[in-house]
Structure 1
Amino acid sequence: MSPPSSPGYRIWVVCGLLLLATMINYMDRMALNLTSKRIMEEFHFEEDFYGKLEGHFGLAFAVGAISTGLVADRLPIKLLYPFMVFFWSLSGFLTGLVQNKEELLACRIALGFFEAANWPCALVTTRRLLDPARRTMGNSILQSGAALGAILTPMIVQICLHKQTEESLPFIAGWRGAFLLTGMTGLVWIFLWGLFTWGINLKDQEPHDPLAKKEHLGTILGQIVWQKRFWILVLSVVSINLTWHFLRAWLPLYLQKARGYSESEVNYFFMGYYLAADIGSLSAGFLTLYLAKIGFPVFSSRLTTFGLFASLSLLSVLAAFIPTGPVFLGTLILMGFGTLGLFPCYYSFSQEISGRHQGKITGLLGSINWIGMYIMQTGAGYFIQGTKTHYLELFKTQGYEQGIAMQMAQEQAYVWGIAMAGIPPAIAFFTLLYFWKNPGEVRGKDTLS
């Protein structure tokens, strides 16, 4: 594929818009995680229902990913993308108005479905704009929006909670204001997208074989899933997302309930955590681009980067058992740096299967991945709640007071999930190393002209 003839700076402006879309995506999503303890207390539910919220979000995301993926290759990206951004922003906004946990669940399901469109739309866009050697950089830019959104969300949450007063209107006070503010940001993005993509060619540049038009959707999907690389990507995407999304959903509760940090301390910590993750995502792109420029084959530059960042994710095994304090928090920040840096490499691997069907590939992989997240998050909720209940009764029978017994039980409930969270990316790395064959690839510097 030859990238469009748009000037270079305009291509990177579009990548910047993808960053902003991913930022808004994560702002709408992260608002729940950072206010979860307060919402759980207000609506009277425990970790098992919180796991259900995250799990059903993931299941809706799976349906949205495959649905959007099937149409992203056919419908104009310039129209499809802002359409989906509007509805996921609306879902986030309505979350600020819910009155009970059932309404909260409905809003999370809607949010999951519409947010899933971001990645098929974004990856179709980067593939149509950038040549293979520059795609990891473009993907790094868009993925860093996840961390940027996650950095801004704690600030918004902290401001909303700090400004809460008795005179505040009930629907803009406290945690509700965080959802309302983040939900409204999508309208700004829609305006910017229309303004800055005017005149940019985002149409499919792949040569169309007339015979290919006669293929049925089932045939196309069959050709995709028949490839060994597709199943390597399935393992890879599930692995890196298990780490990222377990920490996204459960780390705030772990820090407050098991480690004793205050709500404000957790919000301030996550500003640093996601800033490190943002730097990690961009660093992965720069490192891959640098290795390609000095002569590494494109695949080798991606795999080397993936391996380095996967090794940082393994720090979770140590973090779970490090005493509370600066070293513990520093270890978590290194994990954040490494975990998000895995995604740009994975996205670039996924763009090597097919150009014409990138949306279908991304949607199918995303759907399978989020089914996995549904299983993980729902299971984590029941496991944590069940483990906490078991140890609470155990410690009470041993003579501990209720408060001390609860604190000890919550530590036991979370510790093993945190410890194991960083292991899956290492499994993905060795799978890519031994089973992804790239015969006859060109060196990166040969593709950078």
Structure 2
Amino acid sequence: MRKIRGMRWYMIALVTLGTILCYLTRNTIAAAAPTLQSELHITTQQYSYIIAAFSACYTIAQPITGFIVDTLGTKLGYGIFALLWGAFAITASFANGWVGLAAARGLGGFAESAMIPSGLKASTEWFPSKERSVAVGYFNVGSSIGAVFAPPIVVWAIMYQSWRLAFIIVGLFSLAWVALWAYSYFHPSKQKHLSEEEYKYITDGQPKVKAVKEKVHFLVLIRQKKFWGIALPRFLAEPAWGTFNAWIPLFMVKTYGFDLKEIAIFAWMPMVFADVGCILGGYMPVMFQKFFHVNLVVSRKLVVLLGAVLMIGPGLIGVFGNPYIAIGLLCIGGFAHQSLSGALITLSSDVFEPHEVATANGLTGMAAWTASTLFALVVGALCDVIGFSPLFAVLSVFDILGAIILFSLLKNNEAVSAEQTEESESLEAPVSDPNLAAK
């Protein structure tokens, strides 16, 4: 069997493609929102119910899907949920009102909640600890790429036929990915194209834990201070990402009078900067460890702090009346949020045992999406009354509070294995590994 150099990067590329298609499905509703309001006579408040239905189901499902992925394994668990979200996207194309859309998007939210826990688990399986934040940054960048493609695809579908075609297209894309995933993804121990050298590089750089199948206990997880040190910052950070994904097109229409073509031109821009935030956010811990001589956990904390400070940018949108300045500030916000979000997500793999990772991430994700659900309802109720600017300012405050809580509750030596500290002390730039350099 031919061995493929840098096989772990092919695996994370496959995970990234899944993330792209998941977020393409998720952002289709936002890009189509102005048309849906016109054709289906959906009010802003009713649109918020659609978004809240997705977020609420996503919230409830996070610990469930995380537990299922931990139980069934990454390949089977992720494949099942991706199949479901593709099918539910197609189902949304048959809706004739906000209730039908809310039901379809709610079911989609349940299935899509498996995406982050599965991606994180795949990163945990395929990467040594010192590269894991880079891997998470790459698969997390898919969230922004999907959001970048959604507006042009939706506008093309509307102009060519209707908004219904957009949901069918993105659903079929996801179903095709499931077939590719089933054919291509394997655990490193079962991947025949993985060289012995790379397998040793991966496994030697991972925490040494007992190779036993232990049951994951929810109550044990939520009683730990480190759990709340991650869950509360995610609770405070997620409303920003939910707002960026669901409300930017309507914000442009309601605040600046943008038309459909202008939405296609500008709505994707903050997501490009979010892409950059995903990638640079993955490399920042490596840089902080190298230049500031801090350990793994502290390096992640510093990324969150930097992101929280930059999130002040979109909070200042109300100060300026120029739409292009507003778009620029949203770009800063996209970069900031994805940088800090990737660090928070990766922390779960740093401080919890491998058999707990997907479940712990599902629970912290549940906290995050609870906040996103509630804030979607707040935006729907208030944006027509007070405008979007005060709401963006609140998001900035949330992220600053989240960073304070993270530094207060999560200990600097909380990593699951002391060996990670030793790795960080001898850490070089990621390209020091020949396989990574080849990428």
If the TM-score is normalised by the length of the shorter chain, which range does it land in?
0.7 to 0.9
List per-residue Cα deviations over 1:265-302 (Å, max 9, x = no partner). Answer: 12211222211110111011122223334544222322
Mapping of residues 177-326 of structure 1, within 5 Å: 177-198=165-186, 200-201=188-189, 207-208=209-210, 213=214, 220-294=217-291, 295-326=293-324
SS at match of 2:387: helix
Percent identical: 21
Q: Show structure 1 runs of 4+ deviating over 6 A.
A: 202-206
Match of 2:51 among 47, 51, 54: 54
Distance in 2 of aligned mates of 1:328 and 1:112: 29
Decide whether the 8 Å contact of 1:125 with 1:202 is kept in 2.
no
Which residue does 2:118 correspond to in 1?
A: 121
| CA deviation profile, 1:201-227 (whole Å, cap 9, x unmatched) | 3799975476x74x6x5xx22221111
The residue correspondences of 1:96-107 to structure 2 (distance < 5 A) are 96-107=93-104
- Give the C-alpha shift of residue 101 in structure 1: 2.1
Larger Rg: 1
The count of residues paired between Structure 1 and Structure 2 equals 405
Code of the aligned partner of 2:66: G
Shift of 1:318: 1.2
Residue 14 of structure 1: how far off its partner (Å): 1.0
Q: Are positions 1:175 and 2:163 aligned together?
A: yes
TM-score w.r.t. length of structure 2 = 0.86
- Counterpart Cα distance in 2 of 1:81 and 1:429: 31
1:5-20 alignment runs, 5 A limit:
9-20=6-17
Closer/same/farther in 2, CA of residues 186 and 354 from structure 1, 3 Å limit? same
Residue ranges of structure 1 left out of the alignment (5+ in a row):
1-5, 164-172, 388-411
Partner Cα distance (2:359, 2:131) in 1: 22
- DSSP 3-state at the match of 1:45: coil
> What does the per-residue CA deviation read over 1:391-415, in whole Å, with 9 as the maximum and x for residues that have no partner?
xxxxxxxxxxxxxxxxxxxxx3322
Distance 1:285 1:199, change over 3 A: closer
Contact 1:246 1:421 in 2 (8 A): no
> Which residue pairs with 1:396 in the alignment?
none
- TM-score, reference length from structure 1: 0.84
Q: Following the alignment from structure 2 to structure 1, what is the Cα–Cα distance between the partners of residues 9 and 59?
A: 29
Counterpart Cα distance in 2 of 1:228 and 1:23: 33
Q: Distance in 2 between matches of 1:303 and 1:76?
A: 29
Tell me the CA shift for residue 174 of structure 1. 2.3
Which residue in 2 is equivalent to 1:444?
A: 424
Which residue in the other structure is 1:368 paired with?
367
Q: Distance in 2 between matches of 1:328 and 1:273?
A: 10
In structure 2, C-alpha distance between the alignment counterparts of 1:53 and 1:246, rounded to whole Å: 13
RMSD of aligned Cα (Å)? 2.3
Residues 1:108 and 1:202: Cα distance change in structure 2 (over 3 Å): farther
* Cα distance change, pair 309–20 in 1 and its aligned pair in 2 (3 A): same
Q: CA deviation at 1:198?
A: 4.9
Partners of 2:256 and 2:64 lie apart in 1 by 40
Mapped partners of 2:91, 2:107: distance in 1: 10
- 1:155 to 2:160 alignment: no
For 1:183 and 1:413, how far apart are their aligned partners in 2? 33
User: Contact 1:236 / 1:425 at 8 angstroms: preserved in 2?
Assistant: yes
Determine if contact 2:313/2:333 at 8 Å carries over to the other structure. yes
Q: 1:170 corresponds to which residue?
A: none
Matched, 1:24 2:21: yes
Structure 2: state its 5+ residue gaps: 192-202, 434-439
CA–CA separation in structure 2 for the residues paired with 1:129 and 1:358: 14
Mapped contact 2:318–2:390 kept (Cα < 8 A):
yes
Q: In the TM superposition, what is the alpha-carbon distance from 1:7 to its structure 2 partner?
A: 6.7
The 1-side partners of 2:425 and 2:261 are apart by 47
The one-letter code of the counterpart of 1:176 is R
* CA positional deviation for 1:372: 2.3
Letter in 2 for 1:444: S
Offset, 1:100? 2.3
Q: CA deviation at 1:182?
A: 0.9
Which piece of structure 1 moves more, 7-16 or 36-45? Answer: 7-16
Question: Is 246-255 or 197-206 further displaced after alignment?
Answer: 197-206
Q: Is the 8 A contact 2:120 2:346 kept in 1?
A: no
